[in-house]
Structure 1
C-alpha cells in the first residue's frame, strides 16, 4: 500500500531526526559548560541574567535530550501519545528559543556594561581569595590587561604578570609597549563576542529550521497513526 510505505518512510526519517536532535542537545550542553568556564568561571558575575545564560543553555540541552527520547520511542513504537507529546514539547522549545532570541537582541547593549562592572569589581578585590587566579586566567586567555586599559592597574606603576606577552615572575614590573598587552579586557571580549555572534546566529537558525522539520514529521506520523495505517 502506497500510504503504508510513505508512513514507514516518515517513521524512519523521524527516528533519524531525533537521533540528530539528541546530538544537538549534547552540543548545547557542551557549549553551556564551555561558556560557563570561559567567562563566568573567571569572574564574579553579579547579574542574574548574565550568570544564568550558560545555565539556561545547559538546561535546554538536557530538555532536548528528554524530548528526543519521546520522539525516538514514539516513532519506533508508533505510539500516538508519545509522538503527540514530542510535537507539543518541540513546539514549546521552538517558541522559547524565539523569545530568547528577542530578549537577547533587546538586552544585547547591556552585556558590555554587566561584564565591565563585574570585571572592575573583581579587579578591586584582586588580592582576595581566588580573584587573582580568575583575573590572571582571563587576561592570559584573551591577551588583554585591565578593564579599559592596562593603566587601570595603576598605581603602583606595575601590572599582574598575566599581562605580560611572555609571562615570567615579576615581568609585570617592566611596563613597556613591547612587554605587556595594551588593550583592556572589556574591549577585547566585546570584540570576540561580536565576531562570534554571526556563527551563533547561523547555528541557531539551522537548529530552528531543523526543529520545524521535526514538527512536520511528527504531525504527518500522528495523522498516519490516528488514521490506522500500518507503518511497520
Structure 2
C-alpha cells in the first residue's frame, strides 16, 4: 500500500508539473512575441539574425506547450509510452535550451553588429527610399533615439549631409522642421537605446528561463519515477 500511495502521489505530481509546463509554454510564447514586436520593423531590420532569438523563444514555448499534452495524458491514463515520450522530449528541450543560451552568449556581438548595420543601411537610403524613411522615422519615434550611435551620425547622410540638421522624427516634440533645433531632439542613438531596452528585459528572461529549467528537471525526475512504477505493474489509481 505504501508503494501504491507513493506512485499515486507521483502520478498527480507529474500531472501538476505538466500544468506548470503548459503555463511556462504560454509565458515563453508571450515573451517571445513581446520581444519580436519591440524590434519588428521590416523596413529597417531586414537581417534575419535580429529576429532569431525571439523566434527561438516562441518555438520553444510552442514545443513545451504541446509536450505537456503527452505528460498530462500519459499520467492520467498511466500510459508508459506517452510518459516515456514526455520524459525524452522534455530532456531534449532542456538540452536545446542550454545550447541556445550558450549560442546567445557567444554570438551576442553579432546581434549587436546586425542592429548597427541594418540601421546604418536604413539611414543611407533615407533620402532615396520611402520605405527606408518610414522605417527609420518609426524606429526613432518608438525608441526615442536619433541616428545609429548618436544624432551626429546624420551629418554623413543625405539630405542632412554637412549640416547639423536631423530628421523631424528625432524631436522630443515632433513638428515640421523641428530637426533644425538641436535643443529639442533625442541625442542617444537607436543602437544603444535598443540594447538598453533589451538589457532591462534580460533579468525577466533569465528568471523565466531558470524557473522553467528547474521545473523541467523535476518533471523529468517524476516522469522517470512514474515510468518505473507503471513498468513494474503497480496499481496507481
TM over 0.5: yes
Specify the alignment match of 1:123 in structure 2: 123
Moved over 6 A (4+): none
Q: Within 1, Cα distance between the matches of 2:176 and 2:71? A: 57
What is the CA-CA distance between 1:140 and the residue it aligns to? Answer: 2.2
The 1:132–1:30 alpha-carbon spacing in structure 2 relative to 1, beyond 3 Å, is farther
TM-score under structure 1 normalisation? 0.91
Specify the alignment match of 1:193 in structure 2: 198
The Cα RMSD (Å) is 1.8
SS at match of 1:41: coil
Specify the alignment match of 1:213 in structure 2: 218
Q: In structure 2, which of residues 213, 231, 235 is the aligned counterpart of residue 230 of structure 1? A: 235
1:117-148 Cα distance to aligned partner (Å, 9 max, x none): 01111222235243333222322232211111
Q: Within 1, Cα distance between the matches of 2:42 and 2:191? A: 13
Comparing 164-173 with 140-149, greater Cα deviation is found at: 164-173
Specify the alignment match of 2:25 in structure 1: 25
1:134-177 Cα distance to aligned partner (Å, 9 max, x none): 2223222322111111122232543222211122333223222x
**Pairing of 1:101-112 with structure 2 (within 5 A):** 101-112=101-112
Q: Within 2, Cα distance between the matches of 1:43 and 1:100? A: 27
Structure 1 residue ranges without an equivalent (≥5): none
The 1:43–1:104 alpha-carbon spacing in structure 2 relative to 1, beyond 3 Å, is farther
Comparing 151-160 with 141-150, greater Cα deviation is found at: 151-160
Q: Within 2, Cα distance between the matches of 1:22 and 1:43? A: 35
1:95 aligns with 2:111: no
Verify the 8 A CA contact 1:42 1:138 in the aligned structure 2.
no
**Pairing of 1:33-72 with structure 2 (within 5 A):** 33-41=33-41, 44-72=44-72
Q: Within 2, Cα distance between the matches of 1:100 and 1:30? A: 18
1:149 aligns with 2:150: yes
Q: Within 2, Cα distance between the matches of 1:134 and 1:26? A: 30
Aligned pairs, how many? Answer: 230
Structure 2 residue ranges without an equivalent (≥5): none
1:6-43 Cα distance to aligned partner (Å, 9 max, x none): 11111111111111111111121122222222113355
The 1:132–1:34 alpha-carbon spacing in structure 2 relative to 1, beyond 3 Å, is farther
TM-score under structure 2 normalisation? 0.89
